[in-house]
Amino acid sequence: MASHRLGHLFVVSGPSGVGKGTVIARILEQISGIEKSISVTTRKPRPGEINGKDYFFTSVEEFKEMVKQGQFMEWAEFTGNLYGTPVKWVKDRLSKSIDVILEIEIQGAKQIHSQYPEACLIFISPPSIDTLEKRLKNRATESAEKLALRLSKANQEMSEKHMFQYEVLNDNLDEAVKSLADIVYSKRQVDK
């Protein structure tokens, strides 16, 4: 009888606006047996976001209660909102041999790495900070003040990319997707 393979845990991080969500969406379309973790957040939904699909939207009070009960693999505050990765949801998928990809910020990636050293950490980099600023401005989802906060945070995050096992440059979307897919496939090969 073949041994039961646990799913792999992939942690994708990088500055806000670098294109993590776009790259991951393409990976989910192209590769079977992998799911994106759904984070719990206290931020308000953006237009088109669906509760239970994009995020689990909750109140600050409910989020803090979940923290007390140890229901998160990691959690962090980012630009005034709380975000967390639900332990039960992730472990359920991994136990069914489904790979899970987390799209989280660096503080959360550090927490995951300390608790789950087998997790594969991947940093998505922009071609430059100027390019990142243009992408964030074009997104037009926040005020100038929030934009400045995100750019300041991006500079700090870029200085921490050395802690990741892999770096994927998102200068060309197709190439970035191929690079991330190659990482997923190489991790799966280890199990054969």
| pLDDT digit string, tens, across residues 123-159 | 999 888 888 878 777 776 667 787 787 788 888 888 8
pLDDT, tens digit, 9 for 90 and up, residues 42-72: 999 989 999 998 899 999 999 999 999 999 9
Average pLDDT of the chain is 89
Better-predicted residue by pLDDT, 60 or 5: 60
Q: Does residue 124 lie within any of the structural domains?
A: yes
**Residue 56, H or E segment:** strand 55-57
pLDDT, tens digit, 9 for 90 and up, residues 152-178: 888 888 889 999 999 999 999 999 999
Longest CA pairwise span in the chain (Å): 59
What pLDDT does residue 79 have?
77
Q: Does residue 143 lie within any of the structural domains?
A: yes
State which amino acid sits at residue 158.
M
Q: Does residue 3 lie within any of the structural domains?
A: no
Q: Does residue 4 lie within any of the structural domains?
A: no
pLDDT, tens digit, 9 for 90 and up, residues 13-28: 998 888 899 999 999 9
Question: Buried (b) or exposed (e) across 113-126, using 16+ Cβ within 10 A?
Answer: beeeeebbbbbbbb
Helix (H, G, I), strand (E, B) or coil at 122: strand
What pLDDT does residue 1 have?
39
What pLDDT does residue 100 have?
97
Smallest CA-to-CA distance from 27 within 183, 165, 191 is with: 183
CA distances from 136 to 48, 49, 65, 179 (A): 18, 18, 32, 23
Share of the chain above pLDDT 70, in %: 95
Rounded CA gap, 13 and 32, in Å? 21
CB atoms under 10 Å from CB of 127, counted, come to 12
What pLDDT does residue 16 have?
80
- Residues ≥6 apart with Cβ < 8 Å to 66: 40, 58, 72, 84, 86
Residue located via tokens 């074009």: 138
- Total domains present in the chain: 1
pLDDT at 2 over 70: no
**Domain, as residue range, for 37:** 9-190
Torsions phi, psi of 182, nearest 5?
-60, -40
Smallest CA-to-CA distance from 14 within 140, 180, 181, 184 is with: 180
pLDDT band at 4 (very low <50, low <70, confident <90, very high): low
Q: Does residue 1 lie within any of the structural domains?
A: no
Q: Does residue 86 lie within any of the structural domains?
A: yes
Q: Does residue 2 lie within any of the structural domains?
A: no
pTM exceeds 0.75, yes or no: yes
Better-predicted residue by pLDDT, 79 or 115: 115
What CATH number is attached to the domain comprising 26? 3.40.50.300
